[in-house]
Amino acid sequence: MRALDVIPVLDALCPMHMVLSGTGHVTHAGATLCKLRPMQDLQNARFLELFEVQRPRGLTTMEDLRRVAGTRMHLQFRDTPKTGFKGILVPWQDGAVVNLSFGISILDAVRDYALTNADFAATDMTVEMLYLVEAKSAAMEASRKLNQRLQAARVAAEEQAYTDTLTGLKNRRALDHVLNRLGESGAPFALMHLDLDFFKSVNDTLGHAAGDRVLQKVARYLVDETREQDTVARVGGDEFVIVLPGLTDPARIESIARRIIDRLEKPIPFQGKMCRISCSIGTTRSDLYRRPDMARMMGDADVALYVSKRQGRARHTIYEPSPADTPPDPRPALQAAQK
């Protein structure tokens, strides 16, 4: 078969082919290749001067090229735009035929050269690939937007949540809610503020995982040692508040606090090590106030807690109003009964 006979076939099937002479010069190029570089630039230029063959390496002569016939080549234009190609070379007469395709550089190439469907062989999957790239980008964008909205909804839900995620106890938001409800009802209750002792050293010496484990155990103990109707909330890193409705008797409050302290002083095992903590508690009672103000009661429980800490930890203190404070209302029970 003569060279001329095969060229129309190559033109129809491989719009990115080149015919090389025995000296490695381009004698003919397919239509799409001519769109990338004008024919006068291609014609009679040396193939290896037009293209840098990156793999296989070290090809410098036509003999080198013919030797790698049949293996996949990676190459790019030496001048800009330095479009990358995949290519394959087949010896032909005393020269060769090289066929190229864009490979992964296709997205840049269609833009750099304004390629159209007509620039690709009818059997080429490139246009399908471009379709897929766009279709997937559009679908991804829709999914990304959905994820963003879900994330925003999650943040909003967490802000509105009543549960502390680490311990499963109520959080501060829930506590405020409970206290407001109690305040409105006028029912008597005790407010216990509890702060762990030596928790920081557990965190520092055994790590945060141990710390988290301790907090979870403490949460369990607090729930165990209180009644169904009591509210146990985690209000800070190692701070808890317990609300005990219907309970104002100092002796009973003291016994509950004592039980909690004793329970928390039992070492908590974590990965073969023992975590030792304790706790200090300050309590105030609603019957100490003419009209229980939640912020003030929290503050007073905190004062009592501070007294416990100062006395050497593992203590419980019930708040004592100083004589300067408003004296207790003598008729709190009567008030509650009238409601």
Report how far residue 225's alpha carbon sits from residue 262's, in angstroms, rounded to the nearest whole number: 11
115 versus 314: smaller Cβ distance to another protein: 115
| Residue 68 bridge partners (DSSP) | none
Residue 12 sits in the site that holds another protein (CB under 8 A): no
- Site size for another protein (CB under 8 A): 26
Compute φ and ψ for 12, nearest 5 degrees: -75, -40
69 versus 127: smaller Cβ distance to another protein: 127
DSSP assignments along 2-18, one per residue: -HHHHHHHHHHH-TTEE
Residue 154 sits in the site that holds another protein (CB under 8 A): no
- Closest approach of Cβ 144 to another protein, in Å? 10
The sign of the dihedral angle between the CA atoms of 312, 313, 316, 319 is positive
- Closest approach of Cβ 110 to another protein, in Å? 3
- Closest approach of Cβ 107 to another protein, in Å? 5
- Closest approach of Cβ 74 to another protein, in Å? 21
Site for another protein in 298-317 (CB under 8 A): none
Site for another protein in 80-119 (CB under 8 A): 107, 109-111, 114-118
Report whether 304 contacts 296 (CB < 8 A).
no
In this structure, the strands spanning 95-101 and 231-234 are unpaired
Sole window of 40-48, 140-148, 182-190, 210-218 interacting with another protein (rule: CB under 8 A): 140-148
Residue 138 sits in the site that holds another protein (CB under 8 A): yes
DSSP assignments along 144-167, one per residue: HHHHHHHHHHHHHHHHH--B-TTT
Judging by beta carbons within 10 Å of its beta carbon (0-12, 13-18, 19+), is residue 139 exposed, middle or buried? exposed
- Considering only 82, 145, 154, 266, the residue that binds another protein (CB under 8 A) is 145
Residue 142 sits in the site that holds another protein (CB under 8 A): yes
- Considering only 94, 134, 158, 320, the residue that binds another protein (CB under 8 A) is 134
Residue 127 sits in the site that holds another protein (CB under 8 A): yes
Q: Among 232, 15, 43, 261, which Cα is nearest to 123's?
A: 15
Residue 294 sits in the site that holds another protein (CB under 8 A): no
137 versus 326: smaller Cβ distance to another protein: 137
- Considering only 133, 155, 156, 209, the residue that binds another protein (CB under 8 A) is 133
- Closest approach of Cβ 124 to another protein, in Å? 12
Known catalytic residues are 238
The sign of the dihedral angle between the CA atoms of 106, 108, 112, 116 is positive
Report whether 30 contacts 15 (CB < 8 A).
yes
Q: Among 329, 317, 294, which Cα is nearest to 189's?
A: 294
Interface with another protein (CB under 8 A): 107, 109-111, 114-118, 127-128, 130-139, 142-143, 145-146, 149
